[in-house]
Amino acid sequence: MCIDTNYIKELENEHYRSLKKYSIHELAEIFPEAKEVLKEQISETKKKLKSAFKRAKKSYLHSLREPEVAFLCEAATEIIFEEEIIVFEKRLRQLTYQYDCLIDKNIQEEIIDIEALKERLDLKQIIEGYGFKLRKSGQSWLTLCPFHNERTPSFNVYKKHFYCFGCQAHGDVFNFIQEIEKVNFKEALNKLKIYA
């Protein structure tokens, strides 16, 4: 007898769609230890993020000392950003938001597909829109940092994130708008909706 795996998967999906969707507040009542678990997860994610940044900085500094392997170091730095730093920052935002919702019951859960919005935005184009001239440098673009005074460019712009090896300013397009405009996340989101 042959089992149709697609049919089984469709049944599982149908089952999950039929389950009640709980809000963060409802889950907190069911699972009172949630605050402590979230605190631990936030702390652990921060440690992982700090470690990933240290490795990215070490790789970048190695590329400056050893020009013959600079391309490999830049590629390693890009992989650390794409596969670790961005993932950990996204996780940290989610955990912090969930924790804030548990503490303050007045926070309304709002579902916004931020990742889809980020995919539509061109970070390089947005930064250039603020008057910064970017030049190609390996797998990234380079310019003077907008957040501190420097003579030698150390502000690296990748496809979906930026990192300054001078002042350690970093993040995605939302972080850039928040820093450059001195606004909170919600205001940055409203500004970026124009670009999308």
Q: pLDDT 10s per residue in the chain (196 long)? A: 556 677 777 777 776 666 666 666 666 666 777 778 888 888 999 999 889 888 888 887 887 788 787 778 778 887 888 788 888 888 888 788 778 777 776 655 554 567 777 788 888 989 998 888 999 988 889 999 999 998 888 899 988 889 988 888 888 888 899 899 988 887 888 788 776 5
Q: Are 91 and 45 in contact (CB under 8 A)?
A: yes
How far is CA 137 from its chain centroid?
A: 22
Distance CA 127, CA 133 (A): 9
Give helix then strand counts, H and E, for the chain. 9, 5
> What are the boundaries of each domain within the chain?
23-106, 118-196
Using alpha carbons, list the distances in angstroms from residue 124 to 52, 62, 106, 133, 141.
23, 25, 37, 10, 8
User: Residue 110 has what pLDDT?
Assistant: 52
Residue 71 token pair:
């391309």
pLDDT of the residue at 107 = 58
Taking the CB of residue 56, how many other CB atoms lie within 10 A of it?
22
pLDDT for 108: 55
- Please report the pLDDT score of residue 188 as a whole number: 83
- DSSP, res 141: E
Q: For position 157, what pLDDT does the model report?
A: 92
Q: Which numeric CATH code is attached to 118-196?
A: 3.90.580.10
Name the 3-class secondary structure at 163: strand
Q: What is the pLDDT of residue 34?
A: 75
Q: What is the pTM of this model?
A: 0.53
Beta strand extents in 49-139 (DSSP E only): 135-137
